Amino acid sequence: MKPYQNIEIAECGEPLVAIPNHILKINPHPYMSLGAPYGDRSPFFVRQGILEKLQKSQVYLQTIRPNWQIAIFDAYRPVSVQQFMVDYSFRQLVEAKGLKIKNITEEKKNALMNEVMKFWAIPSPDPKTPPPHSTGAAIDVTLFDAELLEINMGSPIDEISDRSLPNYFANSSNAQEIRFHSDRELLNQVMTYSGFQRHPNEWWHFSYGDQLWAWISNEKIAIYGG
């Protein structure tokens, strides 16, 4: 269990809607390219209220950086896809450390999985504890400039390392790393403007109305369930 999973959900019944074509999306979709089991579902769906807030944030971004865009990396995610990505990320982490799953102890497996779960929600099928992305209330986003070039935020989305922490570069005196932090802060500024909250461990993850949002916001109830 994660602390936010204790938050009560009072599902509001708002529908999932497609993110319209004029909003920039990362294509091909990274998890679909890996074979994640979406079936006939699209990852580019969110709750109606989330879409409205995203559009509000995009308009606000234009007042600060004309012609820049918020780009959607990922949005709706069935629990089956959440499980797929947790398993995939675990295997990638094992390989990155030069290990083989069959040769590591249960204690080491647990330690590595704890690293993974700093950045991935538990793929719980329980309607009382849905992963944030499975509610349609969470989105992973980044920024593109006026030339439609992706802004370098200092680490790629989903990297399992401390570089993913939103304030990792906050105290750096390196010019490039100062820019990384500035652009992360810009993204946070435009997303929180419309009510989103940022994940404590991920510079790219924002949500509104789910359990994680409620926990960060000190709200007693979430309005979006699985």
Predicted local distance difference test score (pLDDT) of residue 164: 98
Give the whole-angstrom CA distance, residue 121 versus residue 83: 9
Cβ neighbours for 83, distance < 8 A, ≥ 6 positions apart: 123
Q: What is the pLDDT of residues 50-66, one digit of tens each?
A: 999 999 999 999 999 99
The overall pTM is greater than 0.85: yes
What's the rounded mean pLDDT across residues 74-86? Answer: 97
Residue at 212: amino acid letter: L
Q: State pLDDT tens for residues 166-184.
A: 999 999 999 999 999 999 9
pLDDT above 90: residue 42: yes
Q: Taking residues 91-98, report their average pLDDT.
A: 94
The packing angle between helices 48-64 and 175-193, to 10°, is: 130
Residue 36 has what pLDDT?
97
Residue 102 and residue 99: Cα distance in Å, rounded?
9
Q: b/e map of 194-225 (b: 16 or more CB within 10 Å)? A: bbbbbbeebbbbbbbbbbbbbbeeeeeebbbb
pLDDT tens, residue by residue, 145-162? 999 999 999 999 999 999
Q: Please give the positions annotated as active site.
A: 202
Tens digit of pLDDT for each residue in 116-138?
999 999 999 999 999 999 999 99
Lookup: tokens for 123: 């793929």
Percent of the chain with pLDDT over 90: 97
pLDDT higher than 90, residue 41: no
CATH classification code of 3-222 = 3.30.1380.10
The tokens of 62 are what? 């234009």
Task: State the Cα torsion 27-33-39-44 to the nearest 10°.
Answer: -20
The tens digit of pLDDT for each residue in 190-213 reads 999 999 999 999 999 999 999 999
End-to-end CA, the chain? 16
- Mean pLDDT for 93-101 is 93
